[in-house]
């Protein structure tokens, strides 16, 4: 069903491919095709809705990648000047590969600079990198260090994950009382935690 859209998608790599008008153009062409003229109207409606969602998601990803690429020089300039927020954003770009070639080493460098200036989001992101071994060697002690810093700033996701580290004894001596303390703080900010398993039971 999406062949007519998927094929040209691979060729549209210039910034113009992220233009929101492409969503309308592709969708219009697809739903006007003969495929939908001789089938049950209800089924056609379902197919077209699915098609719209697929096109939107693809175009959204391209538009965001292009936007990150456009903003990178500005982030980079400010990051080099010591702006913690710009350092965090640049680190995220290198970590995700949006607008730049994915580079965990560069991500770690810029996130560390930002985290060192007290940016809780950078601290949390670094902690997750070390916790999961995301582009860097897995290091539970480093993860606990950065989770702690972010948690002390009031970052609820860091508080939740720090509680898990204490609950499981990862990178730190197992301590249920400390685990519950951090889970409690996260809960007060909207997190609900299953204290038996240390698992998250709701979204953000």
Q: Is residue 38 included in any domain, yes or no?
A: yes
**What percentage of the chain reaches a pLDDT higher than 90?**
49
Nearest-angstrom CA–CA distance, 59 and 64: 9
Residue 177: pLDDT over 70? yes
pLDDT band at 164 (very low <50, low <70, confident <90, very high): very high
**pLDDT at 163 (0 to 100):** 95
Nearest-angstrom CA–CA distance, 18 and 66: 7
Q: Is residue 92 included in any domain, yes or no?
A: no
User: For 83-106, how does the pLDDT look when each residue is reduced to its tens digit (9 = 90+)?
Assistant: 998 999 999 989 988 878 899 999
Residue 18: pLDDT over 60? no
Nearest-angstrom CA–CA distance, 92 and 120: 13
Nearest-angstrom CA–CA distance, 157 and 180: 14
**pLDDT at 50 (0 to 100):** 57
Domain coverage including residue 129:
103-204
**pLDDT at 118 (0 to 100):** 96
Both 109 and 204 in one domain: the answer is yes
Residue 199, phi then psi, degrees to nearest 5:
-95, 150
Q: Is residue 4 included in any domain, yes or no?
A: yes
Q: What is the mean pLDDT of the chain?
A: 76
**pLDDT at 69 (0 to 100):** 62
Q: Residue 18 carries which DSSP code?
A: G
- Residue 47 token pair: 């197919």
**pLDDT at 165 (0 to 100):** 97
Residue 115: pLDDT over 80? yes
Average pLDDT over residues 153-171: 96
Residue 65: pLDDT over 90? no
Both 68 and 107 in one domain: the answer is no
What pTM value is reported for the model?
0.64
**pLDDT at 5 (0 to 100):** 34
**Which has the closest alpha carbon to 7: 35, 21, 24, 26?**
26
Q: CA triplet 19, 55, 34: central angle to 5 degrees? A: 115
Residue 175, phi then psi, degrees to nearest 5:
-155, 100
Domain boundary among 24, 47, 81: 81
* Least confident window among 147-151, 158-162, 191-195: 191-195
**pLDDT at 17 (0 to 100):** 46
**pLDDT at 157 (0 to 100):** 94
Q: How many domains does the chain have?
A: 2
């Amino acid at each position: 069903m999406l062949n007519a859209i998927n094929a040209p998608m691979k060729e549209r790599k210039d910034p113009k491919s992220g233009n929101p008008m492409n969503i309308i153009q592709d969708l219009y062409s697809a739903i006007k095709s003969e495929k939908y003229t001789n089938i049950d109207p209800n089924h056609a409606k379902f197919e077209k809705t699915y098609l719209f969602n697929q096109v939107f998601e693809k175009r959204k990803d391209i538009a965001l990648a292009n936007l990150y690429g456009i903003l990178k020089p500005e982030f980079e300039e400010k990051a080099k000047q010591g702006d913690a927020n710009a350092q965090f954003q640049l680190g995220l770009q290198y970590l995700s590969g949006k607008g730049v070639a994915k580079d965990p080493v560069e991500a770690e460098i810029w996130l560390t600079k930002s985290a060192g200036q007290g940016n809780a989001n950078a601290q949390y992101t670094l902690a997750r990198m070390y916790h999961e071994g995301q582009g860097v060697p897995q290091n539970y002690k480093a993860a606990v260090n950065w989770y702690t810093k972010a948690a002390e700033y009031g970052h609820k996701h860091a508080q939740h994950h720090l509680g898990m580290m204490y609950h499981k004894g990862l990178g730190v001596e197992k301590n249920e009382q400390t685990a519950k303390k951090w889970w409690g703080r996260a809960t007060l900010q909207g997190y609900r935690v299953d204290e038996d398993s240390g698992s998250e039971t709701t979204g953000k």
